[in-house]
Amino acid sequence: MAASASCISLVVLVALATVASAQLSPTFYDTSCPRALATIKSGVMAAVSTDPRMGASLLRLHFHDCFVQGCDASVLLSGMEQNALPNNGSLRGFGVIDSIKTQIEAICAQTVSCADILTVAARDSVVALGGPSWTVPLGRRDSIDANEAAANSDLPGPTSSRSDLELAFSNKGLNTVDMVALSGAHTIGQAQCGTFKDRIYNETNIDTTFATSLRANCPRSNGDGSLANLDTTTANTFDNAYYTNLMSQKGLLHSDQVLFNNDTTDNTVRNFASNPAAFSSAFTTAMIKMGNIAPKTGTQGQIRLSCSRVNS
């Protein structure tokens, strides 16, 4: 009885998730705010042209939003999730989203959610750095709360094992190929020394010259905030070089290199390294799936006037 009851519960959960994502539509703002997408794109393009790293920061912000109670802009609320260990002192891009929100409010008051702005901005960031584009389903609404505890428990970290990563992604309805593809977002952006220090001094599955070059700016005893490019070859271009780096044992984070370490994900890494189109296809598929994690729709949540706080 217990087993069949849990099966029924699972079916209901899946059905609810399907209904929620089905309510999202690429044309959601075509009538209510036809200039929304163009406004988001111009804001992202301007930010990335000034600071190429911002593209990676906005993409990461979306990821850290969706993995904690779904893509509901909870990560944008001041405090709470922002104070969680994976986020504190490392999340960036809030000002860019706030600026875009202000511009959109001026043309379509209380119409476009912060959750949708962040989802579209992630796509536009990838495009701005030379990556693929995809059609973003829209119609998410914003949460009225955030969950610091869930941010600490649900977000995979830089020291995660391959099985840890698979479990974290599986818990959000994303499979192993999705996980390897989304990890390819590390073809852009930078990481702080504190997140890879143990790897460059203590791990053996790392190119010796690569490790030595990183130690110069990341000493054993301090410098935790020093930055290094996640992709040493084309740091500001969204391409498939990340996977080639893994095959040369030049993954910056432990959680990067575990994807190519004589394990079950090696063949997927080889495929993405040799076939840019396969990577682009898998990445866009995974991004759409991630953007559909537990969205608030209809009358759920609210359309925040300011992304950093709930409406009074």
For range 114-122, the mean pLDDT: 98
- What pLDDT does 10 receive? 52
What mean pLDDT is predicted for residues 214-221? 96
pLDDT tens, position by position, 21-30 = 458 999 999 9
Q: Which residues are annotated as a binding site for substrate?
A: 156
Whether 67 and 168 have beta carbons less than 8 Å apart is answered as: yes
Q: Check pLDDT > 90 for residue 213.
A: yes
Residues in binding site for Ca(2+): 65, 68, 70, 72, 74, 81, 187, 231, 234, 239
Q: What is the pLDDT of residue 6?
A: 47
Q: State the chain's mean pLDDT as an integer.
A: 94
7 has a pLDDT exceeding 60? no
Q: Cα(154)–Cα(68) distance, rounded to whole angstroms?
A: 7
Residue 16 has pLDDT above 80, yes or no: no
Q: Quick check: is 254 catalytic?
A: no
Bridge-based pairing of strands 190-192 and 227-229 is antiparallel
pLDDT by residue (tens digit) across 275-290? 999 999 999 999 999 9
Residue 23: per-residue pLDDT: 86
For residue 264, pLDDT beyond 80: yes
CATH of domain 162-290: 1.10.420.10
As annotated, the residues of the chain forming the CATH 1.10.420.10 domain(s) are 162-290
Of 1.10.520.10, 3.40.190.10, 3.40.50.150, 1.20.1250.10, the CATH number of 35-154 is: 1.10.520.10
- Residue 13: the pLDDT is 47
Residue 249 predicted with pLDDT over 60: yes
**Among 60, 62, 64, 101, which one carries the catalytic annotation?**
64
CATH 1.10.520.10 domain range(s) in the chain: 35-154
Looking at residue 162, its pLDDT comes to 97
Query: Is residue 193 predicted with pLDDT exceeding 50?
Result: yes
